[in-house]
Structures are given as structure tokens and as C-alpha cells.
Structure 1
Amino acid sequence: MDVLVLIGRILFSALFIVSAVGHLTQTKAMAGYATSRGVPAAVPAVLGSGVLLLAGGLSVLLGVWADLGALLLVIFLVPTAVLMHAFWKETDPQARQMEMVHFQKDMALAGAALMLFGFVAHVGGALGLTLTGPLFDIG
């Protein structure tokens, strides 16, 4: 079980860590896109979201308070879905469909991160293959 959870943590966190690198190295381009989507203070928002992605992704990957890391990812994913993928605002059917797919993807990942939070916080130190136990205890 421990190895399966570790493989899952690796696969899950890879997306967020790679995205964090993009946020932190291509800030200007990403801020331009964020501005076009109506995000206020786009540069700080992109940098802040990059930090959230990196902290959450590394936390889950390394098993350092992985429950907290999962919550950080939820804090990134839900506002991103609403602000960046507001499909209900699109008038072009193709653009609407693409934004709906991205919105649903972000919400599904947020759901998975919430499940990971619950799992880690419930199982606690019995999980194994982590550097620390959970920060929260909902056992």
C-alpha cells in the first residue's frame, strides 16, 4: 500500500511542480494571459500561485505535511477554475467547450486533493514512505 500511495503522490504532484516552474520562470507571459482573463494584479498573482503550486506539490511529493500540501493545491485550483476558466462567460461555442473542460479538470483535481487531504490526515503516521506525519488529525 505504501508504495502505491508513493507512486500516486509522484504522479499527482508532478503536474503541479512543472506548472510552478512555468509560473516562476515565465511570469511575464503568464501574467499577460491572466490579465486577459481579468485577473487583478496579474504579476503578483502568477508569482503567488507559482509559490502555492511549488509548496503544495513538493509537500505532497516528499510527504512533508502532505495534508497541508494538498490543501494548498485546493487553494490554487478552485480560484483558478473560477477566474481563469469561466466558461459561462464565453460566447464562442468552441472556446466555451475548451474552458468548460479546463474548469472541470481543475475542479476534479481539487476534489482529488481534498481526498488526499482526508486520507493523509486520517491515516496519519501509519502511511509510511513520508518524511513527516500529517499536520492535521481527523482520525
Structure 2
Amino acid sequence: MKPVRSLARVMLSGIFVVSGARNLRNPERLVQAAEPVTGKVAPLIQNVHPRIPTDTVSLIRANAATQLVGGLMFATGRFTRPAALVLAATLIPTTAAGHAFWNNDDPAARNNNQIHFLKNLGLLGGLLLAAADTEGKPGLRWRAGHRIDHSRRSVKRAVRTARREAKIAVRSAATARRMPG
């Protein structure tokens, strides 16, 4: 199954690597579409840290760089689950800014944006599946529960052993007292 996962990761990450590189080089072409979203996000970012640049071009570049790096990490199998989550997070503002079909009056533009919106929704679903995929290995929750169960069994065994040895010691002491010395 590993080759299938590897191929699927490369295929899924391709759009992020290509569009991330393209948008990093030329963010100006997206400014008009992105401004409604960045206008809402910028005050939130300023509240978190006032030194972070919140102009539209900087936010587009940050999103693009994140998609490029996240896409490369995902494609190469490095930190795939966190990379998938990061890519999913970058897809939300990208989709809201670039494919707001509900704002289109032109039926052709509305249809085109609706198709791209649904495509991005499918990508988001694939990324969420990839983020949940443990590649056949037990997840952290299972491993923690398994470790706890193993520890409980070990403690129970130790208690049984201690009781058994205490009984043996009591019998030995009783036998030693009864024996004439």
C-alpha cells in the first residue's frame, strides 16, 4: 500500500506546489479577489501580533509559501499528517477568496467558480483523510491506551506475585517457628 499512498500524496500535493510557487512569484494578480478575505483576517492577525505584516500582498505571499512548503513536505512524505492539516488550513481562505461563486451575477462565471469551489472542497476532504491516515500504524490514541492497558496488567501481575511471595514467606515463618531449634 505504500506505493499507492506515495503516488496519491504526490498527485494531491501537485496543485499546492505549482500554485504556491506561482502565487509567491506573482501575488499582485490575486489582490483584488483576496482583499475581501484579507480585510477580515488582518485585524485578527494584528490582535495576535502587531508586527506581522497584514497587507494583502504579504498575506497572499505567506499563504503561497505555506502551500509550497507544505506541498513539498506532503509530496516527499515528511510530516505528512501535519502538512496535510496545514494545506487544508490554507485552502479555506484560498477558496473563499478565489471561488466565491455566490457573489457572481454572470451565470458562466458563477458556474466556473462553483466547479472550482467544489473541486477545492474535494481537495479539502482528501487532505483531511490524509491528516487522519496513520499509514496502517496504530494512532497515538491507540498506542497510549495500549500502553496504559499493558501497564495495568503489569501492575496486577506484580501485585499477584507480591501476594504469593508474602504467603510463602508467612508459611515459611510459621513452619520455622514450629520446628524445634
2:141 and 2:31 map into 1 onto residues whose CA distance is 38
Aligned-residue offset at 1:58: 1.2
Deviation at residue 38 of structure 1 after TM alignment: 5.9
Distance in 1, Cα, partners of 2:3 & 2:99:
35
Q: Is the radius of gyration larger for structure 1 or structure 2?
A: 2
Q: CA deviation at 1:138?
A: 5.0
Query: Cα gap change, 1:111/1:55 in structure 2, threshold over 3 Å: closer, same or farther?
Result: same
Structure 1: gaps spanning 5 or more residues = 127-135
Q: Is the 8 A contact 2:17 2:71 kept in 1?
A: yes
Larger relative contact order (Cα-Cα within 8 Å, sequence gap ≥ 6):
1
The corresponding residue for 2:169 is none
Contact 2:27 2:61 in 1 (8 A): yes
TM-score, structure 2 normalization: 0.63
Identity of aligned residues (%): 28
Query: Would you tell me which structure has more helix in proportion to its own residues?
Result: 2
Amino acid across the alignment from 1:21: A
2:30 paired residue number: 30
The answer on whether the counterparts of 1:59 and 1:68 sit within 8 Å (CA) in structure 2 is no
Structure 1 residue 47 displacement after superposition: 0.4
Q: Give the corresponding residue for 1:15.
A: 15
- Cα deviation code 1:44-87 (max 9, x no counterpart): 12101112201210111111110011001111112222222111
Give the alignment of 1:1-139 within 5 angstroms: 1-35=1-35, 39-40=38-39, 41-119=55-133, 122-123=134-135, 126=137, 137=140, 139=142
CA deviation map 1:111-133 (0-9, x unaligned): 100001111xx337x5xxxxxxx
Distance in 1 between residues matched to 2:70 and 2:102, nearest whole Å = 29
| Cross-structure match for 1:131 | none
Instruction: Give distance in 1, aligned partners of 2:92 and 2:99.
Output: 10
Shift in Å at residue 30 of structure 1?
A: 2.9
CA distance in 2, matches of 1:112, 1:7: 13
The separation in 1 between residues aligned to 2:20 and 2:30, in whole angstroms, is 11
Deviation, structure 1 residue 34: 3.0
Deviation at 1:39, TM superposition (A): 4.1
Q: Is the 8 A contact 1:74 1:114 kept in 2?
A: yes
8 Å Cα contact 2:88/2:127 also seen in 1? yes
**What RMSD over aligned residues (CA atoms) do the two structures have, in Å?**
2.2
Structure 2 unpaired stretches of 5+: 40-54, 143-181
- Residues 42 and 97 of structure 1: CA distance in aligned 2, closer, same or farther (over 3 Å): same
